[in-house]
Copies of this chain bind each other. A is one copy, B any other.
Amino acid sequence: MKATVIHGPRDIRFEEVPDPRIELPTDAIVKVHTSCICGSDLWPYRGDDETTEPHTIGHECLGVVEEVGADVRDVRPGDFVIVPFDHCDNTCSACRNGAHSACENLGMTRSGQAEYARVTQADGSLVKTDGVPDADLVPSLMTLSDVMATGWHAAVSAGVRRGGTAVVVGDGAVGLCGVLAASQLGAETVIAMSRHEPRQELARRFGATHVVAERGKEGVAAVKEILGGVGGDAVLECVGNGPAFEQAFRVARPGATVGMVGVPHGVEAPLRVMFSKNVGLAGGMAPVRRYLPDLLERVLRREIDPGLVFDLTLPLDQVAEGYRAMDERTAIKVLLQP
């Protein structure tokens, strides 16, 4: 099949690789209908994560089941499915506790930006739609594979509650989905920290009541001014690097929780500050399957439209162009279709 392969920093090629195949009886092969590029794909793209040898990349996709292993019962060839980037059995102790991303049988989509993807734990992971969805719903359904579920997890982990206040650090697609999640979960004040006009506009559309363009000390002061002198009840950390972590803890009120969903890169938790302010840190890799049924309903009822995070659509074979656009921040998030 043709697939996106990363060879090293800024070296993305769409090229021929072996077809994925059923390896375990719980596997399925999905023919990819739509995929996209994740902010976390930029870590290896920028060389912040090392690529020791060329490998397929891309972990977000939607598609049609092509083939299933002998033990798969709940999905059949021909089913249109949403593929959580993190595969899980949905039955183990971790899954029963809502920590599907630490499933005892955890798997990952390894060739989402390709013609076919292997899904381990097909029954536990895949969620079917009722036939092929309306074309206008596809972008929003696509976000349920990772980014919208991840933004939702940031909000849940940060303890967003009805009538409370939320501050979102990071205006990438995850941060914007975090704004949407905080708003849907009933936060009365939702502050998006963003310096980029198109992203600010989308944040407002997703329910941000305020936008703060300043960063650092000025950003903290601006947030506190909006919140009557204190920090946020819930802070969504949607980046994962040092400056974002620092910003997040500085805009948290005493007793607040920072919900983290950006893979930590070169970061330390400020334990002394956390201790003296009683600010907690929760979250991690999103348990996508946990939120998927609820989020699917919200999309199908057209209550939320997270697909608006896609501001560039490219044919799959132009995937390298998509990486370039996201790296240069000329696109928020890139949708890929055959």
Residues of A within 8 A of B (CB): 93-94, 97-99, 101-102, 157, 228-230, 233, 253-255, 257, 260, 263-264, 267-269, 271-272, 274-285, 287
A93-B229, A94-B253 in contact; A279/B274 too (CB < 8 A)? Answer: no
Query: Please, which residues of chain B bring their CB within 8 A of the CB of A280?
Result: 157, 257, 280-283
Of B99, B254, B264, B272, which one neighbours A272 at CB under 8 angstroms?
B264
Of B97, B229, B275, which one neighbours A255 at CB under 8 angstroms?
B97
Find the B residue at minimum CB distance from A274. B284
Instruction: Supply 11 A–B pairs (Cβ within 8 Å), ascending by A.
Output: A93-B230, A94-B254, A101-B254, A101-B276, A102-B278, A257-B282, A264-B272, A267-B271, A269-B281, A275-B285, A277-B284
Find the B residue at minimum CB distance from A240. B275
Of B269, B275, B277, B284, which one neighbours A268 at CB under 8 angstroms?
B269
Find the B residue at minimum CB distance from A273. B284
Find the B residue at minimum CB distance from A279. B284
Inter-chain contact B277/A102, CB cutoff 8 Å? yes
Query: Please, which residues of chain B bring their CB within 8 A of the CB of A94?
Result: 230, 253-255
Inter-chain contact A254/B99, CB cutoff 8 Å? yes
CA distance A233 to B93 in the complex (A): 11
Query: Please, which residues of chain B bring their CB within 8 A of the CB of A275?
Result: 260, 263-264, 283-285
Query: Please, which residues of chain B bring their CB within 8 A of the CB of A97?
Result: 233, 253-255
CB distance from A261 to the nearest CB of B (A): 9
Inter-chain contact B285/A278, CB cutoff 8 Å? yes
CA distance A243 to B320 in the complex (A): 46
Inter-chain contact B157/A255, CB cutoff 8 Å? no
CA distance A194 to B200 in the complex (A): 53
Query: Please, which residues of chain B bring their CB within 8 A of the CB of A157?
Result: 278, 280
CA distance A263 to B274 in the complex (A): 10
CA distance A277 to B233 in the complex (A): 24
CA distance A246 to B285 in the complex (A): 20
CA distance A272 to B233 in the complex (A): 24
Inter-chain contact A254/B285, CB cutoff 8 Å? no
Query: Please, which residues of chain B bring their CB within 8 A of the CB of A272?
Result: 264
CA distance A97 to B280 in the complex (A): 14
